[in-house]
Amino acid sequence: MTIQWFPGHMTRARRQIEEKLKLIDVAIELLDARIPLSSRNPMIDTILKGKPRLVLLNKQDLADPRATAEWVDYFKNNGLEALPIDANSGNRVKEIVPRCKELMAAKIAQQIKKGIKPRPIRALIVGIPNVGKSTLINQLAGKKAAVTGDKPGVTKGQQWIRTNDDLELLDTPGILWPKFEDQAVGVRLAATGAIRDEVLHSEDIVFYAIRYMLPQYAKELSERYDADASFDPNDNEAIIGFMEAVGRKRGCLISGGRVDLEKASNILLRDLRDGKIGRITLEHP
Ligand code: G4P
């Protein structure tokens, strides 16, 4: 799947989310814990207006736990509650409903005071492609998920998924676009697999990914490939030299004993995305 975002697309995506915002109490903004800012929509604050919002740092299983804790603080300092989760395994997914309730606490208290029985909180998951929206919806829905059917005022065909007595989710997430015009953002998105490999060459993605990794994760790189990674991140030749060393170790050779850099890059890229190099965050607050 390649998503090409053009102005028309963006406007439509934005309108679709704005329509859905009328139906919900809380927006759940899903980000990639390895690249929280690069996986963020540049217009998110404008799009979500003042809706109560919970930020989820997904794929925390692949991210550096220390960096994830720093990101949670970063968001807190910016007035947003952030919760690291792993939608695949369901780790910490149970904390989402209580966090949403906290966001709605004042409103719920008001309803109770007026003698109104609080209804389940209605939420919408939003995020860029591949960040894990469908995985999370399935995880929250679980086996017992009941699709509660159309409700008045809901776009025809829009379904609510009742995750438990306290939370109902719109079954289709809001799809946002990333800030792809920024090259560094594009590299980070490609390195984590958020954008498809046809968009950038794997050699280029890996070259920059190594540069971003070196200050924090030289040890992990050295250990994984048994090759020295203790060099300056701005030393281009040393980065290429490292990629070649990986290629030689992994038998990626072409005639004349030269290294097939593309093959070596593909190995590095797969390892990075699969977490084989370690739990790596490519962007630090
Ligand atoms: P989307 O709806 O936002 O587009 O994302 P989706 O749920 O389809 O998830 C995209 C990929 O991310 C899936 O991999 C999914 O398994 C993976 N994923 C989602 N949440 C987590 C998580 O918490 N940890 C890890 N490690 N992976 C997660 P996939 O099916 O293999 O797709 P792809 O890699 O072929 O794109």
Q: Tokens 């389940």 label which residue? A: 120
Distance 194 CA to ligand 1 centre (A): 9
- The two tokens of residue 65 are 């736990």
Name residue 121's beta-bridge partners.
167
pLDDT confidence of residue 154: 45
Show the low-confidence residues of the chain (pLDDT under 50).
1, 144-155
Same domain, 241 and 157: no
Which of 85, 135, 137, 270 is the pocket-test mutation for ligand 1 (most atoms within 8 Å of CB)?
Answer: 135
Residues 75 and 176 in one domain: yes
Q: To 10 degrees, what angle do helices 202-225 and 183-192 make?
A: 60
Amino acid (1-letter code) at residue 156: K
Joined tokens for residue 22:
């009328």
In this structure, which residue's CA is closest to atom 34 in ligand 1?
193
Supply the CATH number for residue 118's domain: 3.40.50.300
Is the same domain home to 152 and 251? no
**The domain that contains 224 carries what CATH number?**
1.10.1580.10
User: Distance between CA 258 and CA 275 in Å, rounded?
Assistant: 28
Number of domains forming the structure of the chain = 2
Same domain, yes or no: 166 and 36: yes
214-266 pLDDT per residue, tens: 999 999 999 999 999 999 999 999 999 999 999 999 999 998 989 999 999 99
Pocket around ligand 1 at a 6 A CB cut-off: 58-59, 61-62, 86-88, 127, 129-135, 193
Distance set, CA 43 to CA 9, 78, 131 (Å): 14, 16, 17
Residues 96 and 233 in one domain: no
pLDDT of residue 9: 84
| CA–CA separation, 63 and 70 (whole Å) | 12
Give the whole-angstrom CA distance, residue 188 versus residue 236.
18
What number of other Cβ atoms are within 10 A of residue 234's Cβ?
A: 9
- Cβ(138)–Cβ(41) below 8 Å: no
Same domain, 216 and 122: no
Tell me, yes or no, whether 193 lies in a domain: no
User: Is the CB of residue 192 less than 8 Å from the CB of residue 32?
Assistant: yes
Predicted pLDDT at 157: 60
Tell me whether residue 29 is in a domain.
Answer: yes
Which atom of ligand 1 is found nearest the CA of 129?
4
* 259 part of a folded domain: yes
Q: Which helix (H) or strand (E) is 45 found in, with range?
A: helix 44-48
Q: What is the reported pLDDT for 155?
A: 47
Q: Is residue 71 part of a domain?
A: yes
Specify the pLDDT at position 143: 58
Place of tokens 């607050």: 285
Please check whether residues 143 and 9 belong to one and the same domain.
yes
Q: How many whole angstroms separate alpha carbon 123 and alpha carbon 104?
A: 11
The rounded Å distance from CA 86 to ligand 1 centre is: 10
Please indicate, yes or no, whether residues 58 and 175 belong to a single structural domain of this protein.
yes
pLDDT of residue 165: 77
Q: Choose the final residue of a domain: 180, 209, 231.
A: 180
Ligand 1 atom closest to the Cα of residue 127 is 3
What pLDDT is stored for residue 23 in this prediction? 94
Q: Is residue 118 in a domain?
A: yes
Helix axes 202-225, 236-249, angle to 10 degrees: 70
Does 28 share its domain with 84? yes
| Whether residue 120 sits in one domain with residue 236 | no
User: Which domain covers residue 35, as residue numbers?
Assistant: 3-180
pTM of the model as a whole: 0.93
Question: b vs e for 124-140, b when ≥16 Cβ sit within 10 Å of the residue's Cβ?
Answer: bbbbbbbbbbebbbebb
Asked if residue 91 and residue 209 are part of one domain, the reply reads no
**Which atom of ligand 1 is the closest one to the Cα of 137?**
7
List the residue whose alpha carbon is closest to atom 10 of ligand 1.
Answer: 130
Of 68, 88, 138, the residue with max ligand 1 atoms within 8 A of its CB, to mutate for a pocket test, comes to: 88
Do 216 and 253 lie in one domain? The reply is: yes
Distances (CA, A) of 122 to 10, 20, 166: 24, 11, 9
Instruction: Tell me the three state secondary structure of residue 242.
Output: helix
- 284 assigned to some structural domain: no
**196, part of any domain:** no
